[in-house]
A and B are shown apart, each in its own frame.
Chain A
Amino acid sequence: QQPVQSPQAVILREGEDAVINCSSSKALYSVHWYRQKHGEAPVFLMILLKGGEQKGHEKISASFNEKKQQSSLYLTASQLSYSGTYFCGTGGARAAGRDDKIIFGKGTRLHILP
């Protein structure tokens, strides 16, 4: 099942904060976050593998609530370069040595104004 992202779109002024949410109706083993700029490939930001895990990447961080089957991406003090579409991707639990594909949400378009 495809994860649900919210909001669909956000417009911010440079320096403002944003939160993008991702939720799933099925149990999650992993949550990925990617950013895609127009006409380019998605670029990996981070992966979260355990419930309650938080990861940071410069001023971009994320949390993973395994019980609620949710993840949130936090962008603080946004910069113009943060503009793009953010996708979460979710994977279910698999046996060791076997792969599980990532299913991506529909994306959240983020536009940063100067």
Chain B
Amino acid sequence: EPEVTQTPSHQVTQMGQEVILRCVPISNHLYFYWYRQILGQKVEFLVSFYNNEISEKSEIFDDQFSVERPDGSNFTLKIRSTKLEDSAMYFCASRGGQRRGYTFGSGTRLTVV
């Protein structure tokens, strides 16, 4: 069964530092997403990415955030100058088409101290 792989599984960072969360989506998938979940609450949309550009981003996804697909396989989320409220589980997801479900990665737990 193809998987979405996320690294690291845990990241602890000091407030104000930059973090990069990495994801390897399923190879033949076309659509990529970042979501986050705070303490088992709702899964919040951050950004979607298709055809090598951002399709849509939420109000949460401000100038502090950026995404890249640097080499055709990795999909990264960068958070500049992290804040305490950025602490959450960050999930990467991908899907092969609009009529398909998402496959989520196992997530990166980010703790900002």
Give A contacts to B, CB under 8 Å: 2, 30, 32, 34, 38, 40-47, 49, 85, 87, 89, 94, 98-107
- Smallest Cβ-Cβ distance to A98: which chain B residue: B55
Q: How far is the CA of A40 from the CA of B37 in the complex (A)?
A: 11
Q: Using A99-B55, A104-B43 as known contacts, say yes or no to A41 and B99 having CB atoms under 8 A apart.
A: no
Contact A100 B40 (CB under 8 A): no
The listed residue (A44, A45, A49, A103) touching B103 by CB distance below 8 A is A44
**Could you tell me the dominant secondary structure of chain B's interface residues?**
strand
Contact A43 B104 (CB under 8 A): yes
- Which chain A positions have C-beta within 8 A of B104? 41-44
The listed residue (A38, A40, A104) touching B42 by CB distance below 8 A is A104
Q: How far is the CA of A43 from the CA of B98 in the complex (A)?
A: 17
Give B contacts to A, CB under 8 Å: 31, 33, 35, 40-45, 48, 50, 55-56, 91, 98-107
Contact B45 A102 (CB under 8 A): yes
- Which chain B positions have C-beta within 8 A of A107? 41-43
- Smallest Cβ-Cβ distance to A43: which chain B residue: B104
Q: Using A41-B105, A41-B106, A99-B48 as known contacts, say yes or no to A49 and B99 having CB atoms under 8 A apart.
A: yes
Q: How far is the CA of A94 from the CA of B99 in the complex (A)?
A: 12
The listed residue (A32, A38, A99) touching B50 by CB distance below 8 A is A99
Q: How far is the CA of A103 from the CA of B101 in the complex (A)?
A: 13
